[in-house]
Amino acid sequence: MTDIPVLQTRALRCERDDRELFAGLNWCASAGEIWQIAGPNGAGKTTLIRILAGLHGFYDGSFTWPQWLQSDADPREKLLYLGHKAGLRDELTPLENLQWWLALHAQQADPMAALAQLGLAGYETVPCASLSAGQKRRVALSLLWIVDKPVWLLDEPFTALDADGVTLIEERLRQHAASGGLVIYSSHHRFDDAVRHVRLGGKQVELA
């Protein structure tokens, strides 16, 4: 790990429906860190993560990924984004859904082991429509075991999970940070003292 930050934002500001969600966000995140984006409903957590993922372009200020700027690569090469919605088509099985994702990310991997690890053994070839909300979430989260990307952007990764699932994911996030990755997730749930946070929704953005 160098000390060049992975993510650097400069005076990031976003407004939606004539309401300022956040402003003056100067935020520096380095490899090996876990960041929680916190704040009440409607504070702009999802919006911020979507901005970082390159999905939302209506903001002022700027952000860069300095560790890779030199290489002039597409930041998407380095990003794994999991949104609010699980992103699974109900008509397809978990396996089929994951295979399409892998093709999009041009990665080769076998999802079976990851699915089994998440307690989905036996469900690999059942249409997602007949999975419960928590099971769907697990399918989406299995990407954390399958796809190899340094930066993770996770929007509410813990929703719909039971206590076991939450522990499992927490463990995986820690592990990823320990191996030099960067985790940014939005949630009300802070699972570790080492987790740093960006708090939106107050008068000023709070970084700690």
Ligand X SMILES: Nc1ncnc2c1ncn2[C@@H]1O[C@H](COP(=O)(O)OP(=O)(O)OP(=O)(O)O)[C@@H](O)[C@H]1O
9 binds Mg ion (CB under 5 A): no
- Reduced to 3 states (helix: H, G, I; strand: E, B; else coil), residue 106 is coil
Which one of residues 28, 55, 69, 194 is an interface residue with other proteins (CB under 8 A)?
55
**Cβ of 30: how many Cβ atoms within 10 Å?**
17
What does 105 bind: ligand X, its own copies, other proteins, none (CB cut-off 5 to 8 Å by kind)? other proteins
130 binds other proteins (CB under 8 A): no
Which residues lie near its own copies (CB under 8 A)?
18-19, 41-42, 130, 132-133, 160
Query: Where does residue 61 rank: exposed (0-12), middle (13-18), buried (19+ CB within 10 A)?
Result: middle
Q: Which residues bind ligand X (CB under 6 A)?
A: 16-17, 21, 39, 41-47
Instruction: Please tell me whether residue 151 adopts helix, strand or coil conformation.
Output: strand
- Please identify, using beta-carbon distances, which residue of 131 and 146 lies nearer to its own copies: 131
To ligand X, the closest distance from the beta carbon of 41 in angstroms equals: 4
- The torsion angles phi and psi of 131, rounded to 5 degrees, stand at -95, 150
Compute the distance between CA of residue 138 and CA of residue 169 in angstroms, rounded to an integer.
9
Looking up tokens 């008068």 gives 203
Q: What token pair was written down for 119? A: 């307690």
Determine the distance from the C-alpha atom of residue 87 to the mean position of all C-alpha atoms in its chain, rounded to a whole number.
13
Residues in 33-72 that interact with Mg ion by CB under 5 A: 45-46
Note whether 32 binds other proteins by CB under 8 A: no
Specify the residue, 115 or 153, whose C-beta has the smaller distance to other proteins.
153
Structure tokens at 76: 């998407």
Footprint of other proteins (CB under 8 A): 16-17, 50, 53-58, 74, 76-77, 79, 81, 83-92, 96-97, 99-101, 103-106, 127
